[in-house]
Chains A and B, each alone.
Chain A
């Protein structure tokens, strides 16, 4: 099964168009070539469950889980960047349950 077939098979679960929220999204030839090279590359450990290096930040180095209030300047700019406003309200898209 090649990547295109895999992508088609996968589409029954969730298409690339759906995953990417991009209309007409499909696999490209250049990207497929990159993926083929990875599949064919030699790896010292062919076991896919091989434990990958842990690159996470150490627990002791994590910052405190805290809320920091933004300044009024920041809040104002965030509101200004909102795409749509009507009668003092920020407008969002209507959500339809499927």
Chain B
């Protein structure tokens, strides 16, 4: 499958479709959809931009590759003058005062945002059921969850309502819904794309991530959004990656692959996912690619380390939400009472669970025993990745150990939901780039490389999907 962006670009250039009709068509599809992917449609904003693109084409101006391409934005990003709710009651009426850097770069390239997409509230979830806008339905089977937290974004892409969408990934929130809906989802190297203008969940692992139907589209969007940003001091310099390099099969063939036997020889993995993953490994070996087994920490330790740190960070980040300067304030008898009522009434149960857990782990008596130990384990994980990527170029794993759950079950059993992130959270803690590819296991394949080695991921993914 070739680039969808390129295909639509060609239609626009050849005047086989107008940008206005294209955008209106997508908005109509979103309006009619029963998948519950949209928190807010950006109808006037998008149609106004589409009109300008049509004028440029009519005037004979050359348009850029992303100009006029409709895309979706997870509702945790700021777009000046548009709502940004974080799928919460707290910010249901909040209007973004400025625009996130990643989104601004797409706007500068001429892409057109058409929808703020449903997601787990403040990114707190792995099923997209923790949303005040209701659960998002899976694109393949409506009885199943969309995955989370960027579920609305993944479903919109899978259904074709958006050409690409911008999700956010803290512990798997782009990769897992992409896998659940059989599209591509990239978590870039931490710092490659600015986090300025995204609602912070866990700042040390939060990344901006594109979701698309083809690897080529992921690449184009990645290149546009990458780069250092004055507003985010954790950003790093990076070079653009060329499509021809990604399509270099000779280079891909030389990549050495590893996989964690601790992930696969584990009683928690669904037998079908294990079988499909191992069948893919055999197929890769059959292509003459060297594959080795690796050892890793057990899933329980990985998940616990991630959630301990993520909860601590989200407790700190969401402390700013108290209804004083913005958000849905509920007035109490005094300042503290106002804080307490506002936060108690406006956060969801799962968000409150994470905030309370975070404050617990940061409090006296727990900090050293749990929080600092979790940070030590994170250091061990990082060192292990550094040593493993001296031996291999690519690490493969299923995106998730379980099949896609039915809607209605995940929030009842938070521990099971947390454990569904077992294969994604480790790579987040390591800050590594990793791509969810719709091949192999039913919930997708996760392709990971060392920091700043996105090219190897894309080369390898191109090889195995060709």
Contacts and interface: CB of A to CB of B under 8 A. Distances in A.
A28 B415 CA distance: 11
Contacts of A61: 233
A21 B339 contact: yes
* Contact-size category for A: 35 or more
Contact of B376 (A14, A29, A43): A43
B364 A10 contact: yes
B355 interface: yes
Interface string A21-43: 11111111111011101110101
Interface string A1-22: 0010011011001101101111
Nearest to A17: B340
A31 B344 contact: no
Nearest to B344: A23
A67 interface: no
Interface string A41-54: 10111001010110
B82 to A, nearest CB: 10
Interface in B298-338: 300-301, 303-305, 307-308, 311, 315, 319, 322-329, 331-332, 334-338
Interface string B233-247: 110000000000000
Contact of B233 (A53, A63, A84): A63
Contact of A93 (B305, B324, B382): B324
B326 A83 contact: yes
| Interface-centre pick from B311, B325, B338, B356 (highest chain A CB count, 10 A) | B356
A81 B307 contact: no
B80 interface: yes
A78 B97 CA distance: 6
Interface in B350-382: 352-353, 355-357, 359-361, 363-366, 368-370, 372-377, 379-380, 382
Contacts of A29: 415
A26 B340 CA distance: 14
A78 to B, nearest CB: 5
A25 B356 contact: yes
Given A16-B360, A80-B95, A34 B369 contact: no
Contacts of A96: 334-335
Given A26-B356, A52-B375, A83-B323, A35 B361 contact: yes
A96 B357 CA distance: 28
Interface in B78-99: 80-81, 94-98
A34 B355 contact: no
Contact of A22 (B311, B352, B370, B380): B352
| Interface-centre pick from A14, A44, A73, A81 (highest chain B CB count, 10 A) | A81
A41 B366 contact: no
Contacts of A9: 365
Interface in B241-284: none
Interface residues of B, number: 70
A55 interface: yes
Contact of A19 (B96, B332, B363): B363
B370 A38 contact: yes
A3 B366 contact: yes
Contacts of A22: 340, 343-344, 347, 352, 355-356
Given A22-B355, A34-B418, A74-B98, A82 B326 contact: yes
B352 A25 contact: yes
Contact of B304 (A38, A74, A77): A38
A14 B415 CA distance: 27
Interface of A: 3, 6-7, 9-10, 13-14, 16-17, 19-31, 33-35, 37-39, 41, 43-45, 48, 50, 52-53, 55, 57, 61-63, 70, 73-74, 77-78, 80-84, 92-96
Interface of B: 80-81, 94-98, 204, 230, 233-234, 297, 300-301, 303-305, 307-308, 311, 315, 319, 322-329, 331-332, 334-341, 343-344, 347, 352-353, 355-357, 359-361, 363-366, 368-370, 372-377, 379-380, 382, 414-415, 418
User: Which 5 residue pairs spanning A and B have beta carbons closest together?
Assistant: A37-B304, A83-B329, A77-B97, A31-B357, A81-B326
